[in-house]
Structure 1
Amino acid sequence: MTEPRQPEPVAATAPEAGVADAEHRLHPMSWLFVLVAQLRQFIVPLVALLVFGQGDRNGLWPMIGVAVLALLSLWQYFTYRYGMVDDALVVRSGLLERSLRVIPFARIHNVALKQTLLHRLFGVAEVRLESAGGNKPEAEMRVLKLDDALALERLVRQRGRAPDAGVAVAAADGDAVLLQMSLGEVLRLGLVSNRGLILVAAAFGGISQFNAELLPDLFERWGDMLFGWAGEHQFGVVEFALAAVTLVLLVELMLCLLSIALALLQFYGFRLSEHGRRLTVERGLLARWRTSASRRRIQAWTLREGVRHRWLGRQSLEVDTAVAEDHNRHRALREVAPIATPAQCTGLIEYLLPRAQWTALDWRQLPAGSWWRLWLPSWPWVLAATAVLTWNGGSWGPLVLAWLPWSAYKARRRTARAAWALGDEVVAVREGWLRRHWRFAEIDKLQALQLSRNPIDRRCGTATVWLDTAGAGTMAPPLRVRFLPLAEAEALYARLSQELARRPLRW
């Protein structure tokens, strides 16, 4: 596949020459949404001034601050313009200090539309145009009418298409739906996602920042109350065990219900569709997200399967896209199939990566004797925990050593499943036992290769091949082939290097 056509440079004077389409303004109520976003950032100091400044003139400062923010919001509405010039988007802003940005459509990698409940009430949407590099989006429009936002997305989709040489790309009249999640699938996603545990952990961390003594005091009071109640009823060993199991089940039930609620809010009405060679995802119950990206912007793939996935006969498919790294990265196209059957996930991979021949890959297992390399990291923390508990708790400390046989068994199972594959168009790794994942990428999308050897590798005559792609998320598993014999690792590294040298890098 040849390298995408690079856009022609657009002269900054084009808008003045009358080439541009009619310029457009933001929605008349955009100042309200900008004001709300700014108040969100300054809400803590404003509330502090309002609460602690009562009874004197300091109480007026919050109102003055709100008035200033409102004027700035109105200023942005009256000075912000956007229009089209050939194959580029032109954005003007400012009056005293003017800014003119010319953004080629081919440079826009992701179009994200967000609708909160307030947006939906006014029939508007926030639009973000993102590229592969930089810490900020290429353009952020707060806010446009929903019809105007969808029209801008269609325009980027049509004018930003860069087909391969000799390949005709036919624009479909409508979106082709590739996956649509029913309510039952969203509920299953809540059961397997453990998002409730993440939210609770974040809440505990936030509370600890404001009051470090609050959580220990609460746990101490709850412990005294529970053990006091158990002592009054003269609980024995069996009763304590049943009470502990019941408490764990209740906590797990609460976390599951919280995870289901979060899944409903984030993924209700999930739909994956394709228009031409661009993928679009819509999701959300109260707030709606709509994000789209070109298929050629997908850098790597991750297929996940946890224990609960297998109980329900489901898998999850995610992708890494080359978009700007910022605090709003969660809006980028990531979940291609948040939860689906294995057949649906395989069908999506074969449809979106037809040349990868996913089901025909020749998987090569890692050396069976390398299991102890996965077991070795368990020793330091187990020995440290044993020493600490023995020092403080006496005879209970050595019980921690019971973890070592289990970790050895787990390491053997993980090694038995670990494998890698190299096809004509894709390189893939398979790891995990209880929580399994498949990580793969097109060879054309690899950014860098690295052959590394630590002291244990040099002692054992092995090496690890690291494969780097753009847009990898912080939670994505690494794309690497571990514990290979040195000769095999060098052969893999040489072959991939030759393939990258003769193929153009594709974004």
Structure 2
Amino acid sequence: MNAPAGPEEAANGPDGSDGSDRSGGRNDFAPTTRRTHPLTPLLTGWKIFAGVIAVIAAQNLTQLLEEFTVRRALLGVGALAVALVLAVAFSALAWWRTTYEISEDGVTRRSGLVTRTGLTAPRERIESVSVQRPAVPRLLGLAKVRVEFAGGSDSFLDLAYVTSRDAEAIRTRILSVAGQGKVRRVASAADAAAGGSEAPGSSDRAARGGLRGDLEKVVLDGVTEGDLIARIPTTRLLHAMLRDLGWLLGLLAGVLWILVTVVVAWRTDGVGVGLLAVVLPALLAIQQAVLRRIEGGWGFVSRDTDRGLRMRRGLFSTRTDNLGAGRVQEMRLRRPLLWRRPGWSDVRVSVAGLGDDDTSDASKVLPVGTREEVRRTLGHLLPPLGTDDDPQLLERLLSVPARDLGGIGPRHRIFVIGRRTRRAFLLPGALVLRSGIIAPTVQIIPRERIQGLTLTQGPVGRMTDSATLSVGVAAASAELAGVPLADLLDIERELRQDAGSGRRYRDRASWAVPPLAPRAGSPTERGGSVGAAPAGDRAPEAETRQDRADSHDAGGRP
């Protein structure tokens, strides 16, 4: 159900226009100051109220139960009612003083009762736009639009709350401003009269049938257009949870801790309020861990759209995300031990400004995918690694023991675990790191994303002639620890050029792009093998990034 639109939404659309979609170019983005939905104070006020109650209960729970009387209970209820009214009133004042504006330069939100604060997401730095529907606002037909932009771990701007219909229009509008792709135009009678073409995907919906197509669009929160990249059935998600030994061991440790605490408390003080105060938070933590895992993959679907990879996930609280091609700073693939037989993997990315919220793994672009789904996801998010068969290389890295892969890694006998778990490979397009035994993990860092290198050698390193190389990228980092110093010096010399000049903005036309991502302008080659020359050859300084990739293979290849 949709909540009734506010007075401003009723008169105009979320963009301040007459409600029609005219976001085809920058000239159409006339800045208009807007407010969020009038029900926002109710949805934010109860959070303040609940926080106050939680603090009071946590500090005085035992005393309140011991001194309980009917008179005190009635006084407490009255005090809580007054606190609730004050919280909602404060939220209403804050809502009235909070406005947002979408212009051709980005998104700006201004807030503050006494001191006015303005937060701006510049157009050039917008990384992702998500539509989040928490459980309670979802029942009211409301949603929150989150704009993630480069700048730090908390670099985001929330527009909470607006109607679900307006949230999608705002998302489309911001993505168009950010330049993440050509905006789809919704076919209308005026467009048809002017010779406009049919909206993409409309013929597919017609083929599926009007009622079925509309129902699917509601269930998937509108993520029905574009080529399907991955879709996770519920049975696969539940089986994957039961097959993840690391996650199960963590839950088992939590349960054992609760049992031990209950036994000790029962034998010392007996069953009482103190025991409840200790056990209840632990039970809530376990419930939150299970719910987070389910929310992160329930109903997951990803599609390739003209604005990048669009994903939907969630059971009680749902969210949809857009991740543009070329925004990924780093990627991790993980395959737990019991996932090897079905060939499942989860894929997590690091994007400047993109972070997880409290209820879902937002950075997971594929919670549990098949080999084909992994291949399609990587093809839309990462540039080629520079081998003859990138998917086959990653499959080998995830399935073969590290000691049989070759490459670069710890050699000294003092590094007992590292010699069996860690390997590094410097490929023409990326630095690839393999680690882990129970859950092998492959970390991929595109060489063009590297921003800094740090080579350190401690006392143990001087004794073993080894060192540690730290590789810095936006929103992530990687380490090659315990590796022979000579090998790290070779890698450091090769990567130094990438860190210094690999992402010059004036050379953006030659930046590597994912092979399956939409191209802007003239088409270019997609993927293909990258020839490797002997590692000792050196490219001149004037050589371009792609030329270096075509002429070097500085690291071992598995």
Query: For residues 479 and 271 of structure 1, what CA distance do their matches in structure 2 show?
Result: 29
How far apart are residue 179 of structure 1 and its match?
Answer: 1.0
Counterpart for residue 126 of structure 1: 144
Which residue of the other structure, out of 27, 31, 40, is the alignment partner of 2:37?
Answer: 27
Query: For residues 468 and 113 of structure 2, what CA distance do their matches in structure 1 show?
Result: 56
By percentage of residues, which structure has more helix?
1
Is 2:382 the partner of 1:340? no
* TM-score normalised by structure 1 residue count: 0.68
Query: For residues 149 and 358 of structure 2, what CA distance do their matches in structure 1 show?
Result: 12
Which residue of the other structure, out of 442, 446, 458, is the alignment partner of 2:446?
Answer: 442
Distance change in 2, residues 1:204/1:417 (3 Å):
closer
Which residue of the other structure, out of 116, 122, 136, is the alignment partner of 1:104?
Answer: 122
Matched position secondary structure for 2:414: helix
Bigger mean CA deviation after superposition, 258-267 or 142-151:
258-267
- Identity over aligned pairs, percent: 19
Which residue of the other structure, out of 55, 80, 91, is the alignment partner of 1:62?
Answer: 80
Which residue of the other structure, out of 303, 306, 316, is the alignment partner of 2:336?
Answer: 306
Query: For residues 322 and 97 of structure 1, what CA distance do their matches in structure 2 show?
Result: 29
Distance change in 2, residues 1:114/1:215 (3 Å):
farther
Counterpart for residue 392 of structure 1: none
Letter in 2 for 1:182: P
Distance change in 2, residues 1:137/1:417 (3 Å):
closer
Which residue of the other structure, out of 36, 40, 61, is the alignment partner of 2:50?
Answer: 40
How far apart are residue 219 of structure 1 and its match?
Answer: 8.9
Distance change in 2, residues 1:195/1:265 (3 Å):
farther
Letter in 2 for 1:328: D
Matches within 5 A, 1:218-233: none
Query: For residues 367 and 137 of structure 1, what CA distance do their matches in structure 2 show?
Result: 36
Is 2:301 the partner of 1:271? yes
How far apart are residue 490 of structure 1 and its match?
Answer: 0.8
Letter in 1 for 2:159: M
How far apart are residue 309 of structure 1 and its match?
Answer: 1.1
Q: Which runs of 5+ in 2 are unaligned?
A: 1-28, 185-199, 201-224, 270-285, 398-404, 509-558
Distance change in 2, residues 1:302/1:131 (3 Å):
same
Counterpart for residue 499 of structure 2: 500
Distance change in 2, residues 1:204/1:456 (3 Å):
same
Matches within 5 A, 1:278-297: 278-297=308-327
User: Retained in 2: the 8 A contact 1:466–1:481?
Assistant: yes
Q: Which runs of 5+ in 1 are unaligned?
A: 1-18, 163-168, 222-255, 376-410, 473-477
Query: For residues 293 and 270 of structure 1, what CA distance do their matches in structure 2 show?
Result: 15
User: Retained in 1: the 8 A contact 2:424–2:480?
Assistant: yes
How far apart are residue 447 of structure 1 and its match?
Answer: 2.5
Counterpart for residue 467 of structure 2: 463
Which residue of the other structure, out of 208, 216, 224, is the alignment partner of 2:264?
Answer: 216
Distance change in 2, residues 1:198/1:288 (3 Å):
farther
Instruction: Summarize deviations over 1:125-172 as a string: whole Å, max 9, x none.
Output: 12222323346454222211011111111112111026xxxxxx5556
Query: For residues 216 and 488 of structure 1, what CA distance do their matches in structure 2 show?
Result: 53
Which residue of the other structure, out of 310, 323, 346, is the alignment partner of 1:316?
Answer: 346
User: Retained in 2: the 8 A contact 1:189–1:260?
Assistant: no
Bigger mean CA deviation after superposition, 89-98 or 442-451:
89-98
Matches within 5 A, 1:354-369: 354-357=383-386, 359-360=389-390, 364-366=406-408, 369=411
* TM-score normalised by structure 2 residue count: 0.63
How far apart are residue 117 of structure 1 and its match?
Answer: 2.6
Letter in 2 for 1:25: R
Counterpart for residue 166 of structure 1: none
Counterpart for residue 248 of structure 1: none
Distance change in 2, residues 1:24/1:312 (3 Å):
same
Distance change in 2, residues 1:137/1:504 (3 Å):
closer
Query: For residues 168 and 342 of structure 2, what CA distance do their matches in structure 1 show?
Result: 36
Instruction: Summarize deviations over 1:392-445 as a string: whole Å, max 9, x none.
Output: xxxxxxxxxxxxxxxxxxx4xx63564322122211111223321111111121
Matched position secondary structure for 2:428: coil
Counterpart for residue 176 of structure 1: 227
Is 2:88 the partner of 1:74? no
- Aligned residue pairs total 403
Query: For residues 267 and 147 of structure 2, what CA distance do their matches in structure 1 show?
Result: 46
Query: For residues 92 and 58 of structure 1, what CA distance do their matches in structure 2 show?
Result: 39
Distance change in 2, residues 1:39/1:316 (3 Å):
same
Letter in 2 for 1:365: G
Distance change in 2, residues 1:422/1:67 (3 Å):
same
Which residue of the other structure, out of 386, 409, 414, is the alignment partner of 1:373?
Answer: 414
Query: For residues 30 and 494 of structure 1, what CA distance do their matches in structure 2 show?
Result: 54
Query: For residues 30 and 68 of structure 2, what CA distance do their matches in structure 1 show?
Result: 52
Query: For residues 494 and 325 of structure 2, what CA distance do their matches in structure 1 show?
Result: 26
User: Retained in 1: the 8 A contact 2:343–2:371?
Assistant: yes
Letter in 1 for 2:298: Y
Which residue of the other structure, out of 378, 383, 397, is the alignment partner of 1:349?
Answer: 378
Matched position secondary structure for 2:34: coil
User: Retained in 1: the 8 A contact 2:94–2:112?
Assistant: yes
What is the aligned-residue RMSD (CA, Å)?
Answer: 3.8
Query: For residues 425 and 294 of structure 1, what CA distance do their matches in structure 2 show?
Result: 19
User: Retained in 2: the 8 A contact 1:319–1:333?
Assistant: no
Distance change in 2, residues 1:102/1:342 (3 Å):
closer
Distance change in 2, residues 1:40/1:273 (3 Å):
farther
How far apart are residue 264 of structure 1 and its match?
Answer: 3.8
Instruction: Summarize deviations over 1:449-473 as a string: whole Å, max 9, x none.
Output: 111222232222222322122223x
Query: For residues 34 and 433 of structure 2, what CA distance do their matches in structure 1 show?
Result: 48
How far apart are residue 324 of structure 1 and its match?
Answer: 6.2
Query: For residues 451 and 202 of structure 1, what CA distance do their matches in structure 2 show?
Result: 39
Query: For residues 411 and 460 of structure 2, what CA distance do their matches in structure 1 show?
Result: 14
Query: For residues 152 and 99 of structure 1, what CA distance do their matches in structure 2 show?
Result: 22
Query: For residues 295 and 241 of structure 2, what CA distance do their matches in structure 1 show?
Result: 10
Is 2:425 the partner of 1:421? yes
User: Retained in 2: the 8 A contact 1:321–1:332?
Assistant: no
Distance change in 2, residues 1:90/1:452 (3 Å):
closer
Letter in 1 for 2:146: R
Counterpart for residue 85 of structure 1: 103
How far apart are residue 26 of structure 1 and its match?
Answer: 1.4
Query: For residues 119 and 189 of structure 1, what CA distance do their matches in structure 2 show?
Result: 30
Matched position secondary structure for 1:74: helix
Matches within 5 A, 1:378-397: none
Distance change in 2, residues 1:436/1:505 (3 Å):
farther
